[in-house]
A = this chain, B = another copy of it.
Amino acid sequence: MTKSILQSSRVAFALLALAFAGRTTARAQIAFPSWNDGPAKRAILDFVRVTTDKANAKYVKPEERIATFDLDGTLWVEHPMYTQVVYCLERVPVVAAQRPELKNVEPYKTVLSGNREAIAKLSMDDLEKIVGGTISGMTTDEFTAEVKKWLATAKHPLWNRPYTELIYQPMLEVIQYLRANSYKTYIVTGSGQDFVRAFAEQVYGIPPEQVVGSTGETKYTYGKDNRPVLIKQPKLLLNDNYTGKPEGIHLMIGRRPHAAFGNTAGDREMLEYTQAGDGARLMVLVLHDDAEREYAYGPAEGLPDSKVGAFSQSLFDEATKDGWTVIRMKKDWKRIFAFDR
Contacts and interface: CB of A to CB of B under 8 A. Distances in A.
Interface of A: 63, 140, 184, 193-194, 197, 201, 207-209, 211, 215, 217-220, 227-230, 237-238, 243, 246-247, 250-255, 269, 272-273, 276
Contacts of A208: 253-255
Contact of A276 (B184, B228, B250): B228
A267 to B, nearest CB: 13
Nearest to A198: B254
B218 A251 contact: yes
A230 B229 CA distance: 33
Contacts of A253: 208-209
A276 B211 CA distance: 24
Given A209-B252, A209-B254, A220-B269, A228 B247 contact: no
A193 B228 contact: no
A318 to B, nearest CB: 12
How many copies the complex holds: the figure is 2
Given A197-B254, A228-B269, A252-B252, A63 B207 contact: yes
Among A197, A201, A230, the one with the most B-chain Cβ atoms within 10 Å of its Cβ is A230
Instruction: Please name the 10 residue pairs, one residue from A and one from B, whose CB atoms are nearest each other, closest first.
Output: A208-B254, A220-B243, A228-B276, A209-B253, A228-B272, A228-B273, A220-B246, A197-B254, A218-B247, A227-B276
Among A220, A237, A238, the one with the most B-chain Cβ atoms within 10 Å of its Cβ is A220
A272 to B, nearest CB: 5
Contact of A230 (B230, B238, B250): B250
Given A207-B255, A208-B254, 15 more contacts: A63-B207, A140-B250, A184-B209, A193-B251, A208-B255, A209-B209, A209-B254, A217-B247, A218-B250, A219-B243, A220-B273, A228-B269, A237-B237, A237-B251, A252-B252
B230 A193 contact: no
A254 B218 contact: no
A301 to B, nearest CB: 25
Nearest to A197: B254
A272 B243 CA distance: 36
Contacts of A230: 246-247, 250, 273
A169 to B, nearest CB: 24
Contacts of A201: 63
A193 B254 contact: yes
A61 to B, nearest CB: 11
A306 B303 CA distance: 67
A250 B201 CA distance: 16
Contacts of A63: 201, 207
Nearest to A212: B252
A253 B251 CA distance: 12
Among A201, A207, A269, the one with the most B-chain Cβ atoms within 10 Å of its Cβ is A207
Contacts of A272: 228
A207 B253 CA distance: 9
A230 B254 CA distance: 11
